[in-house]
Amino acid sequence: MARVRIGDVAREAGVSLGTVSNALNHPEKVRPETRRVINETIERLGYLPNQSARMLAGGQSNVLGLVLPRLNHGSSLQIANGALTEARRHGYNLIMANANDDGALSERSARYLMGMQVDGILVQPVQSLEWEPAAMHAVPVIYLDVRSGSPGYYVSADNMGQGALIARHLVTHGATHIAVIGRTSSQQMKLRLTGIQDVLSAHPDIVLEVLDAGEWNVSGDGYSLGVSLMQRASHERPDVIIGLTDVLAAGAIAGALSAGAHVPDDLLVAGCDGNPLAWSGPVALTTCSPAGYEIGRKGIQLLLERIATQDALPHEAHERREEVVRPFLLPRASTGAAPTGGLTTVENRALSIPEFNMGAYL
Amino acid sequence: MARVRIGDVAREAGVSLGTVSNALNHPEKVRPETRRVINETIERLGYLPNQSARMLAGGQSNVLGLVLPRLNHGSSLQIANGALTEARRHGYNLIMANANDDGALSERSARYLMGMQVDGILVQPVQSLEWEPAAMHAVPVIYLDVRSGSPGYYVSADNMGQGALIARHLVTHGATHIAVIGRTSSQQMKLRLTGIQDVLSAHPDIVLEVLDAGEWNVSGDGYSLGVSLMQRASHERPDVIIGLTDVLAAGAIAGALSAGAHVPDDLLVAGCDGNPLAWSGPVALTTCSPAGYEIGRKGIQLLLERIATQDALPHEAHERREEVVRPFLLPRASTGAAPTGGLTTVENRALSIPEFNMGAYL
DNA sequence: CTGAAAGCGCTAACAC
DNA sequence: GTGTTAGCGCTTTCAG
């Protein structure tokens, strides 16, 4: 079906095959006039370069690959958006594969993309305790959002830092009794909690209560916890709720409101994983910057760096390098920041991330 | 870097190059013992077949492509999940590209995938009023979730049917005053509203009020509307709210609760776009089946059908075909369905969709 | 700028 | 079953 070939274009445009190839790959080597004719012919004939042949013949694809573990979690979507943005900025295309939580499929997809001769790939592995980076790499690979001591290139979030950032923010807002909600089922959740605890260990006067509860860290769990915490007698009622995820925190706000409390007058609430999917609730949520977005961007940057240098250093073998994305605070109405009508300076800072789209995530 | 080639494997395994190729592509033609040796060698050497070369030499890729307009909306994520599920069921891989709301990028990605020699592609176009299917197709293309009179293959949702389904459900639940909330900014929203109006035109006794309000159809808009509707004097207060999107409906539930109303005792609420991203609120939301998921599945089915038949019918030229995905109802607690603790039969029906993951969408 | 020609790594078809 | 070989469509190089 892929009828028309480069030779057809050349004949039709009255130039030689090599010239068409040059017009495509090294436009500067072709007289503008000729180039115009060629482009018109391409358009007229509907010529689509056969990418397989291009690659085989040894061009570079200008395409990067991204393998995601799933598509229903904010973190992966942020990574995808950040990676796409950054790839485009550098003139690269990005193609993605979704592993649907299947480790074997993730592996297969990564291998396929490598075999496809993309210039490099980003992999957010399906989480599992015994995860190890693949041994064989035909192209540069960067792993995202995993912790591993093995050689390789990694970009990950600073979960402890996120927890600490939020805790510090709340301490300066006069917290006296903090309830942390969420199941510490994953390493990431545990680290966030550790960050919070570290900060509060310097403030023995502040009551810290951890409700390691709920099944799935979904919004409904946050809601019930919000309701029950607000129904307590006033002397044992927390004045701050921190959700280990933004989704939980958003649920807690809804619960607190329906129990008749006012946020932030009666209660401060904050999340700590910067998940825009949870930001469309009634009260704007204080949380950190969306780490996933930055992970995606840094991942691409690191990848391009490796692609650029790998020719220079053919056999750098077993190096290990890890980039950590530092979070920054997004203070908003749920902890008393100036409500709507104008973004805070920090939100402006977030907006200065190229093409970062703060709203419209649902 | 892609050091090891098929010849290396052959030499190392002590067989001929053709045999390795056969072991890979037509395993039945190779003695099991030989196959085992070859596979071991492949593993040991870390051989990755060069997909570009495979394609060029004329195999079939067993890969399908999917071009999405964006990654932050439930509908596209559902499509991706549905398509992946169905593709895998048929032994195909799926690779995706995200156009980030840029029509030109969407076009480019589609062309790239075609040039990549995938067996076929699915495209959910970036919405625009003058959208037209591309003229040139190197491989079969199916368009998703667009309306167009042009020749081509389409799979889309029945938005009017969705509205009608929800309206009928509420009529049978004794609605007397229905408030429909949401901006009819897109064709899809208008169709949903039309479906609702059609049903209610047969019930002149039921008050129908349309609040074409809010900026972006985000949850916060639903929340404010929920609050203000519940604060009305009782004789002009609706007993039913329909959100043109599930996100709005979820916001309205939160708003109504915080205004002291009980859902579903004082008020019934339903959405009508089946968006799992909005389902994690305090009260389970009545809505329709997630159309996107089925669109993705049907899209793959139609694509495979075309791939299978196109050899038989080489030049079927300007055919037009459209598959419409019919919605079904998911009655839940927000309109009085039996609350938690056991799924409704209809939810079981939804769950019978292969690998449909009803929860855990956030 | 042209025209010719040498592969890129693989598949499939062919004799053995 | 094995070994050999002719391309797949393109990029690049090289002489004109």
Q: Please choose, from the candidates A143, A152, A141, A137, the residue with its C-alpha nearest in 3D space to the C-alpha of residue A124.
A: A143
Q: CATH 1.10.260.40 residue ranges in chain A?
A: 6-49
Residue intervals of chain A classified under CATH 3.40.50.2300 are 61-157+291-325, 159-290+332-361
Task: List the single residue in A88, A278, A282 with the smallest CB-CB distance to B254.
Answer: A282
What percentage of residues in chain B have a pLDDT greater than 90?
60
Please say if the pLDDT value at position B342 is more than 70: no
Q: What mean pLDDT comes out for the span B281-306? A: 92
Q: Which nucleotide is nearest to A26 (CA to C1')?
A: D11
Per-residue confidence (pLDDT) for residue A352, from 0 to 100: 35
Q: Which residues contact A189 (CB under 8 A, 6 or more apart)?
A: A159, A182, A183, A217, A244, A245
Right CATH number for B61-157+291-325 from 3.30.420.40, 3.30.1300.10, 3.40.50.2300, 1.10.10.1200?
A: 3.40.50.2300
CA of A204 vs chain B CAs: smallest distance (Å): 34
Nearest to A138 among B1, B55, B138 (CB): B1
pLDDT attached to residue B360? 30
* pLDDT higher than threshold 70 for residue B216: no
Give the whole-angstrom CA distance, residue B272 versus residue B288.
Answer: 6
Please name the nucleotide lying closest to A28, CA to C1'.
C1
Residue B357 has what pLDDT?
Answer: 36
Report the predicted TM-score, pTM, of the whole model to 2 decimal places. 0.89
**A residues 316-345 closer than 8 Å to B (CB):** none
In angstroms, what CA-CA distances link A304 with A89, A307, A314, B94, B202?
A: 12, 5, 15, 25, 62
How far is the CA of B212 from the CAs of B183, B189, B220, B258, in angstroms?
5, 10, 15, 22
What tokens appear for A360 in the block? 């419209």
Class of domain B6-49: mainly alpha
Return the nearest residue to C6, CA–C1'. Answer: A57
Question: Is pLDDT of A349 > 80?
Answer: no
CB < 8 Å to B77, chain A:
71-72, 77
CA distance B357 to B360: 7
How does pLDDT run across B108-159, given as a tens digit for each residue?
A: 999 999 988 899 999 999 988 788 888 777 889 999 999 888 999 999 999 9
pLDDT of residue A268: 97
Cα(B79)–Cα(B155) distance, integer angstroms: 11
Q: CATH fold of B159-290+332-361, please?
A: Rossmann fold (3.40.50)
Chain C: nucleotides below 7 Å from protein CB are 1-5, 7-14
For residue A13, which nucleotide's C1' is closest to its Cα? C2
Q: Distance (Å, rounded) from C-alpha A132 to C-alpha A217?
A: 27
Partner-chain residue, chosen from B51, B111, B310, that has the shortest CB–CB distance to A116: B51
**Is A192's pLDDT higher than 90?**
yes
Q: Is the CB of residue A261 less than 8 Å away from at least one CB of chain B? A: no
What's the average model confidence in pLDDT over B330-343?
72
Confidence of residue A357 (pLDDT cuts 50, 70, 90): very low
pLDDT digits (tens, 9 = 90+) for A217-256: 667 778 889 999 999 999 999 999 999 999 899 889 989 9
Q: Do A96 and B95 touch (CB under 8 A)?
A: yes
Q: How far is the CA of B117 from the C1' of D6 (A)?
A: 22
Going by pLDDT thresholds of 50, 70 and 90, the confidence category of residue A315 is low
A24 CB inside 7 Å of strand D: yes
Instruction: Name the residue of chain B whose CA is nearest to A259's CA.
Output: B258
pLDDT at A359: 31
A218 closest CB neighbour out of B46, B56, B362: B362
**Residue A81 pLDDT greater than 60, yes or no:** yes
